[in-house]
């Protein structure tokens, strides 16, 4: 059994316990038995070889056999501020950003936003991060920040060596015009279905953000966020 499971509690000793949805998956979906081995991670950056010791009704006790530091993160901070799309498209967005190695997702409150980042929605996004991290092998979880008003977001952390801030806009420069090789922090802004308003674009420009275009076609929110994140992740590596 090679499946990965997330421990919500830090793994610091020779034993670990899974409960909640992770225990349910291991017990009732994978039908684990005593002696079977799994991989655990706790968001610290390490992963652990573990063996099932005891199967309860709603929790699983495991012996921790080995700890490995396995770094699958980007070599720089990538933060994506995005006006969330509706419904299941949020889940797809979180899944793909997690796979791409995004450090943090910031739900933006914009003038034309169509989905309210409620507490329950943020909780669902957090669960989606865990599921995606289990699948793609990340040992650190992408953070889901508290919602932030766009006007506050564009003014935050406006200076700093190695910081590049890009806002997606059809009238912006081509992504090929930007030198990303020296960036240690990259912040991206993706607007709602109707795009950022002229006032929002002007606010970003006044705060020192640079506009970047993603081609001649109008992309959906989640497509734009994933496309720009993927290009930045790849180019900043080189």
Q: Compute how many other C-beta atoms are within 10 angstroms of the C-beta atom of residue 71.
A: 11
pLDDT at 66 over 50: yes
| pLDDT of amino acid 52 | 95
pLDDT per position as a tens digit, 152-183: 999 986 656 788 999 999 989 988 788 777 78
Same domain, 115 and 59: no
Q: pLDDT class for 212, splitting at 50, 70, 90?
A: very high
| Rounded Cα–Cα distance for residues 47 and 6 (Å) | 10
**Least confident interval from 1-10, 45-54, 133-142, 167-176:** 1-10
Q: The CATH number of the domain where 37 resides is what?
A: 2.40.240.20
pLDDT at 55 over 80: yes
| pLDDT of amino acid 1 | 39
Helix ranges restricted to H, 137-214: 150-155, 198-206
Q: pLDDT class for 138, splitting at 50, 70, 90?
A: very high
| Rounded Cα–Cα distance for residues 62 and 203 (Å) | 52
| Rounded Cα–Cα distance for residues 202 and 178 (Å) | 20
Same domain, 97 and 210: yes
| pLDDT of amino acid 234 | 84
Same domain, 53 and 22: yes
pLDDT per position as a tens digit, 102-118: 999 999 999 999 888 88
| Rounded Cα–Cα distance for residues 168 and 226 (Å) | 12
Query: Which residue, among 228, 145, 164, has the nearest Cα to 190 in the 3D structure?
Result: 228
Residue span of the structural domain in which 208 resides:
77-237
| pLDDT of amino acid 30 | 87
Mean pLDDT of 185-194: 94
Largest CA distance in the chain: 61
Same domain, 81 and 31: no
Mean pLDDT of 225-238: 85
Same domain, 65 and 92: no
Q: What is the mean pLDDT of the chain?
A: 92
| pLDDT of amino acid 159 | 59
Same domain, 214 and 150: yes
Same domain, 63 and 118: no
């Amino acid at each position: 059994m090679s499946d990965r499971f997330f421990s919500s509690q830090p793994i610091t000793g020779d034993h670990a316990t899974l409960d909640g949805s992770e225990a349910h998956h291991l017990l009732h979906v994978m039908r684990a038995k005593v002696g079977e081995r799994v991989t655990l991670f706790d968001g610290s950056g390490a992963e652990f070889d573990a063996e099932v010791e005891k199967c309860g009704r709603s929790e699983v006790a495991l012996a921790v056999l080995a700890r490995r530091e396995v770094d699958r993160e980007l070599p720089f901070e990538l933060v994506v501020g995005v006006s969330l799309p509706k419904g299941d498209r949020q889940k797809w967005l979180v899944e793909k950003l997690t796979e791409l190695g995004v450090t943090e997702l910031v739900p933006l409150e914009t003038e034309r936003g169509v989905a309210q980042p409620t507490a329950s929605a943020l909780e669902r996004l957090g669960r989606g991060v865990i599921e995606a991290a289990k699948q793609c092998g990340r040992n650190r979880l992408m953070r889901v920040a508290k919602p932030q008003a766009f006007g506050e977001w564009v003014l935050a952390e406006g200076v700093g060596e190695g910081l590049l801030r890009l806002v997606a806009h059809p009238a912006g420069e081509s992504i090929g015009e930007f030198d990303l090789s020296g960036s240690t922090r990259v912040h991206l802004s993706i607007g709602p279905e109707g795009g950022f308003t002229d006032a929002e674009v002007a606010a970003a420009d006044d705060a020192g953000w640079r506009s970047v275009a993603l081609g001649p076609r109008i992309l959906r929110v989640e497509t734009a966020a994933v496309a720009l994140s993927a290009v930045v992740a790849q180019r900043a590596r080189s």
